[in-house]
Amino acid sequence: MLGFLALHIAALLFWVATLVYLPVLLASSQNRQSQLSESPRQYDSVARFVFTQIASPAAIVAIIAGTVVFAINGTTHLWLIAKLTLVALLVVGHTLIGLLVIRLERNDGKSVQPWCNLLLIFFCLMATGIIWLVLAKPAWEIGG
Ligand code: HEM
């Protein structure tokens, strides 16, 4: 079980780090793009590489390893249900940042900045909430 927990923690650290990095990378890339005379070749942005080759595989490994730990432990406390609800929201955010990568590459002049600011705050709040729940394990009772 410890091996899966260690894999879970390692993968989630990569996942959360790339989710915090991507909004910053996207916003700065768009600023740079606007300065370039000739736009870079589509579909090979650094953001796409980080999203497809680091963030998404890390998310899959974190979720599979976490599910294995869950299955072995059989933990059904309310804090874990609350944690998995926040994880589901994190996955929605992950999808939205993927859509922003496509928008950046389309270079259609629409700013990604406001969405990047929102998602950066969202990812920081979600990650803090998840890690607090799993480390503090508040003794909430159903109906308590
Ligand atoms: C579907 C996704 C996930 C599942 C099923 C899952 C499940 C679990 C389970 C069962 C544990 C062991 C808890 C215990 O009894 O101590 C655990 C530990 C942990 N999880 Fe997850 N998790 C998921 C996603 C995440 C994510 C996205 C994060 C962070 C952003 C996270 C952070 C942690 C941390 C930090 C621990 C270690 C807690 C400790 O040291 O005691 N998990 N996870």
Which atom of ligand 1 lies at the shortest distance from residue 67's CA?
5
Residue 143 inside a domain? The answer is no
Task: Pull the structure tokens for residue 62.
Answer: 């974190």
Which structural domain, as residue segments, surrounds residue 59? 2-136
Please enumerate in sequence order all residues whose Cβ is within 8 A of that of 142, keeping only pairs 6 or more positions apart, or say none. Answer: 78
Q: 84, 65 in Cβ contact below 8 A?
A: no
* Atom 6 of ligand 1, residue of closest alpha carbon: 66
Rg value, the chain, Cα: 18
Residue 142 inside a domain? The answer is no
Residue 76 inside a domain? The answer is yes
> Which pLDDT belongs to residue 144?
53
What is the spatial distance between Cα 53 and Cα 49, in angstroms, rounded to a whole number? Answer: 5
> Which pLDDT belongs to residue 143?
59
> Which pLDDT belongs to residue 16?
97
What is the spatial distance between Cα 140 and Cα 25, in angstroms, rounded to a whole number? Answer: 39
Q: 64, 7 in Cβ contact below 8 A?
A: no
Residue 141 inside a domain? The answer is no
Residue 37 inside a domain? The answer is yes
CB neighbours (10 Å) of residue 1?
A: 10
Beta carbon of 126 within 6 Å of any ligand 1 atom: no
Residue 68 inside a domain? The answer is yes
Q: At what angle do helices 113-136 and 78-106 cross, to 10 degrees?
A: 160
Which atom of ligand 1 lies at the shortest distance from residue 16's CA?
30
> Which pLDDT belongs to residue 131?
95
Q: Could you tell which of 2, 5, 7, 8 is best to mutate to test the pocket of ligand 1, judged by most ligand atoms within 8 Å of the CB?
A: 8
Per-residue pLDDT of the chain (144 residues; tens, 9 = 90+): 899 999 999 999 999 999 999 999 999 987 776 555 455 555 568 899 999 999 999 999 999 999 999 899 887 889 999 999 999 999 999 999 999 999 988 877 788 999 999 999 999 999 999 999 999 998 876 655
Q: Rounded to the nearest 5 degrees, what angle is found at the Cα of 61, between the Cα atoms of 59 and 63?
A: 65
> Which pLDDT belongs to residue 33?
64
Beta carbon of 117 within 6 Å of any ligand 1 atom: no
Q: Could you tell which of 83, 125, 137 is best to mutate to test the pocket of ligand 1, judged by most ligand atoms within 8 Å of the CB?
A: 83
Overall number of domains in the chain: 1
> Which pLDDT belongs to residue 125?
98
What is the spatial distance between Cα 125 and Cα 93, in angstroms, rounded to a whole number? Answer: 12
* Atom 43 of ligand 1, residue of closest alpha carbon: 66
The conformation of residue 113, written as its DSSP 8-state character, comes to H
> Which pLDDT belongs to residue 108?
79
